[in-house]
Structure 1
Amino acid sequence: MSNVTSAEESAGVSETLTEYLGEMGPSWVAGAVAAGPATIGSLVTAGGAYGYSMLWVVVLSAGAGALAQYLAMRLGLLTERGIVGVVEDTLGETWAWLLVADAVVASGVAQLVIMKTVATVSATVTGVDARIWGVAWAVVLAAGLAGRGYRFLEVAAKVLVLGVVVAFVASLFVVPIDAGAAAAGLVPSVPPGGALVAAGILGGAVHITLITMHSYTMRSRGWTREDYGLATFDVGASMLVAFGVYSLAIFLVAASVLTSGDLTAVGAAQALGPVAGDNAQLLFLVGLWGAAVSTLGANTIVPPFLLADKFGWGTTVDDNRYRALLVGVALLSAPGAFIGGAVLGQLVLVLALGTVGTPFAIAVVLYLLNSDAVDVPNSTLSNVGGLALVTVAGALAANFVREQVAGGVTPLSGFVLAFAVALGLATVGLLAKYVTEELGTGSQTA
């Protein structure tokens, strides 16, 4: 018979929870990327153009994002290595390079548009030219990451993400919400022309950069399989709770107040002033700025992590080659401030492009979790959830590509089409490889 009392059990749970709250972090860096201006762009576009009808996608994105991060977390802890090295040892160098190229293209394009957003918001607040802000932010970013490394980024991510969530939740109290219409939006449907926006919303939560970065951020904290409980709590707190509340708040504000999805990022904030008051405008602008800054820093570390691992370098600032990669990516983001055009549409396109590359990344993680790369079999529930993610992300990506091509093949849509076809074939090839191997193993056993 146990001598542990209910009070002692409660005290133990409380102590564990307090410890987890103090130690969580890696998934918040991924959350900083997810809770960025591109996600804001997709949510504002969806709410402004289609009202509450796409609320179901917003809710789905939080659960899907948490599941994707859980699978990535599981792979990272069970191998205690970076994902690129595991892919190279298990599948070969070609597959490793394909994963690196997929993630670097998606995060690189995103980096430029995110910098444009940061510079634009900074210019709106201060009156200083956005191009000057772009160069200034690039230098600050390079100095901060190269000088203090991952821990600096993690602390900043947690503070900024929590601040952004508070800002957008506060905005809910100054705008009118139609509860009945919102409830109707929980019924799944994609309105005509809404495939791009739906792909953008899901792409904010289930994105290749978030999936591939997770093993490296956990390694930077020194987490091992002994930290499985903490890592699971980390994912739930950041992606399911913080990101879910963040997305829901932004979408409900946009659906309740805005009447157009064709706005600039700053224009969306300014549009709130006449209809919801100056407080709503200020809260939205502050939230957008915080989201942009946190995402810019978190997204910067993705290409250096993957490239350094592929080349066999260290993935901390103790290795000068990795430090140089950090500085290079940070400085190369400055030209984003010089890109013309409305940033909101570009943000949605960036996320949708990431969605095109995401099914392959999820398929890679699932393959590895069901291979000899790990010594603990993946559960049937995790496999079913992972396959559902591949299916949903693939369907949204296919709809997005179809809409792009239907409008005529331009250099941009042509690139997206080629990118999608290459990664689609790779995903199918990887699934076929797994099935073939399983059939071969089964015949040998028989």
Structure 2
Amino acid sequence: MQTLTERTQSRLSAVLSGEARGWRSRLLFAGPAIVASVAYMDPGNYATNIQAGAGYGYRLLWVVLLANLIAMLFQALSARLGIVTGRNLAEVSRDHLPCPLIWVMWVISEVAAMATDLAEFLGGAIGLSLLVGLPLMAGMVITAIATYAILIFEGRGFRPMELIIGAMVGVIGLCYLAEVLIAPVDWVAAGSGVMTPSLPDNAALTIAVGIIGATVMPHAIYLHSGLTQSRAVVRGDADRRTLLRYSNIEVVVALAVAGMVNMAMVMMAASAFHQGHANVAEIETAYHTLTPLLGAAAAGIFLTSLIASGVSSSVVGTMAGQMIMQGFLHFRVPIWLRRLVTMVPAFAVIAAGVNATDALVMSQVVLSIALPVPMLALLYFSSRRDVMGDFRIGPVLRALATIGACAVLSLNFVLLADFFGVPIPGLK
């Protein structure tokens, strides 16, 4: 497990003891939620948000808001587990669950990590190939090199990696700020879409299911608990409460930014495509359609955000995969080998001639199958006194988390049923 530098650890301890104050000192606690927030702005979200905006204008923005609130709750619980126990979710599972179940959880989580990386890796490659006119395979090679180059910084501790990922999150956010300024957004309709829940037809329900059902990413749950463990020397429950307070603030801010980026994606698609191009559903089609509608600058900004999303989320996915393996098996592999293992499926899929967008959809199906493992494990351990002590979640928070888990898992079931052709009454 990587650590913070001694200097940063010392400054964190000074803040916890009350020796250091001010907003600059509090920024030392920022990082874990920012890294985890990349999972909510990955290329897998692009197609769904584009479909929502193109097909239904601003009317599904409320779904994005609801999905973001559920994400905030579970990322806060993940951070809470790491802060209180000093262990990540995979390690806690290994310590408290039967060995056969641990092996099953590890296998499912490894498959999910590969599916996650497939979507993110392909997203960055698609953006590169469209931006500079490269073949998709060449874009994948460049994405692989860029991802590995960033991963090298992990050896220097958490902070350099958090700063790099934070910069990429900033790039994505600025790109979509520019997009909503370029696109003629109907802000009154957007406000109404956020505040007024509606599902115009069954197809809208399917898209809403896609937005919510793929909200909480398995690797983000594992990773966040690991990024918050042992970040500062904790001398007692008072320090833990302080860390939890700072962590909860960071989760709200980071996930709020991620939510606004997703809303901006929907608003851009609604503004550009809803009138006259409502059938736009693929990333490539969106790019080619944007150029004549909003100009080359808007199309270029769109691809820049996609590349930053693909590269940063691929880095985060590899970090999560490393943490999952180390937590479940107490075994660590060199980062180059981990990177190689997770990117081979992406190269194999494209070499086999599979459509890139279809591959993205398939990866989301795999993630839907894997999601119950970390989500239910997190809810289970967060509620146990022998694991969390006085910091176990209370009845109200437990009820909200249970409702959120049931909602997300039910919608994931609907997604899977729809993908495999199982009829769902009222959906079709």
Shared fold by TM > 0.5?
Answer: yes
Q: Which residue of the other structure, out of 325, 328, 332, is the alignment partner of 2:344? A: 332
By how many angstroms is 1:53 displaced?
2.7
Q: Distance in 1 between matches of 2:335 and 2:293?
A: 47
- 1:347-385 Cα offsets, whole Å, 9 max, x none, are 345335423432442221111112111112312222112
Aligned residues of 1:56 and 1:187 also touching (Cα < 8 A): yes
The worse-fitting range, judged by mean Cα deviation, of 94-103 and 243-252 is: 94-103
Q: Distance in 1 between matches of 2:362 and 2:56?
A: 17
* 3-state SS of paired residue (2:371): helix
* 3-state SS of paired residue (1:374): helix
- Letter of the structure 1 residue corresponding to residue 263 of structure 2: L
Q: 1:35 to 1:221 in 2, by over 3 A?
A: farther
Unaligned runs of 5+ in 2: 1-17, 235-239, 424-428
* Partner in structure 2 of residue 361 of structure 1: 374
* Partner in structure 2 of residue 373 of structure 1: 387
* Partner in structure 1 of residue 112 of structure 2: 106
* Partner in structure 1 of residue 11 of structure 2: none
Q: CA RMSD, aligned part only? A: 2.7
* Partner in structure 1 of residue 404 of structure 2: 389
By how many angstroms is 1:298 displaced?
0.8
Aligned residues of 1:176 and 1:256 also touching (Cα < 8 A): yes
Aligned residues of 1:46 and 1:261 also touching (Cα < 8 A): no
Aligned residues of 1:81 and 1:219 also touching (Cα < 8 A): yes
Aligned residues of 2:114 and 2:343 also touching (Cα < 8 A): no
By how many angstroms is 1:180 displaced?
4.7
The worse-fitting range, judged by mean Cα deviation, of 263-272 and 220-229 is: 220-229
Aligned residues of 2:33 and 2:250 also touching (Cα < 8 A): yes
By how many angstroms is 1:337 displaced?
5.1
- What does 1:2-21 align with in structure 2 at a 5 Å threshold? 15-21=21-27
- What does 1:143-158 align with in structure 2 at a 5 Å threshold? 143-146=149-152, 148-149=154-155, 150-158=158-166
By how many angstroms is 1:398 displaced?
2.1
- 1:186-215 Cα offsets, whole Å, 9 max, x none, are 314373234553343224531211111112
- 1:313-371 Cα offsets, whole Å, 9 max, x none, are 36xxxxxx353553434553661554645434543453354234324422211111121
The worse-fitting range, judged by mean Cα deviation, of 115-124 and 273-282 is: 273-282
- Letter of the structure 2 residue corresponding to residue 71 of structure 1: L
Number of residue equivalences: 389
Q: Distance in 1 between matches of 2:350 and 2:62?
A: 34
By how many angstroms is 1:247 displaced?
0.8
Q: 1:388 to 1:179 in 2, by over 3 A?
A: same
Query: Is 1:273 aligned with 2:291?
Result: yes
By how many angstroms is 1:143 displaced?
4.4
* Partner in structure 1 of residue 418 of structure 2: 403
* Partner in structure 1 of residue 8 of structure 2: none
- 1:55-112 Cα offsets, whole Å, 9 max, x none, are 1211111111111100111111111112122112222223323332332222211212
Q: Distance in 2 between matches of 1:21 and 1:339?
A: 46
Aligned residues of 2:81 and 2:225 also touching (Cα < 8 A): yes
- What does 1:15-414 align with in structure 2 at a 5 Å threshold? 15-146=21-152, 148-149=154-155, 150-182=158-190, 183-184=192-193, 186-189=196-199, 191-219=201-229, 221-222=231-232, 225=240, 227-239=243-255, 241-258=256-273, 259-313=277-331, 321-323=333-335, 325-329=337-341, 331-332=343-344, 335=347, 338=351, 340-371=353-384, 372-376=386-390, 377-406=392-421
Q: 1:67 to 1:28 in 2, by over 3 A?
A: same
- Letter of the structure 1 residue corresponding to residue 208 of structure 2: A
Q: Distance in 1 between matches of 2:201 and 2:346?
A: 37
Aligned residues of 1:195 and 1:396 also touching (Cα < 8 A): no
Q: 1:354 to 1:20 in 2, by over 3 A?
A: farther
Q: Distance in 2 between matches of 1:152 and 1:339?
A: 37
- Letter of the structure 2 residue corresponding to residue 236 of structure 1: V
Q: Distance in 2 between matches of 1:28 and 1:339?
A: 35
Q: 1:63 to 1:345 in 2, by over 3 A?
A: farther
* 3-state SS of paired residue (2:393): coil
By how many angstroms is 1:305 displaced?
0.9
Q: 1:348 to 1:375 in 2, by over 3 A?
A: same
- Letter of the structure 2 residue corresponding to residue 237 of structure 1: V
Q: Distance in 2 between matches of 1:17 and 1:293?
A: 30
* Partner in structure 2 of residue 4 of structure 1: none
Q: Distance in 2 between matches of 1:297 and 1:381?
A: 35
Sequence identity (%): 22
Q: Distance in 1 between matches of 2:371 and 2:225?
A: 16
The worse-fitting range, judged by mean Cα deviation, of 156-165 and 358-367 is: 358-367
Q: Distance in 1 between matches of 2:377 and 2:103?
A: 12
- 1:219-245 Cα offsets, whole Å, 9 max, x none, are 374575352222222211211x21011
Q: Distance in 1 between matches of 2:243 and 2:184?
A: 43
Unaligned runs of 5+ in 1: 1-11, 315-320, 409-446
Q: 1:383 to 1:351 in 2, by over 3 A?
A: same
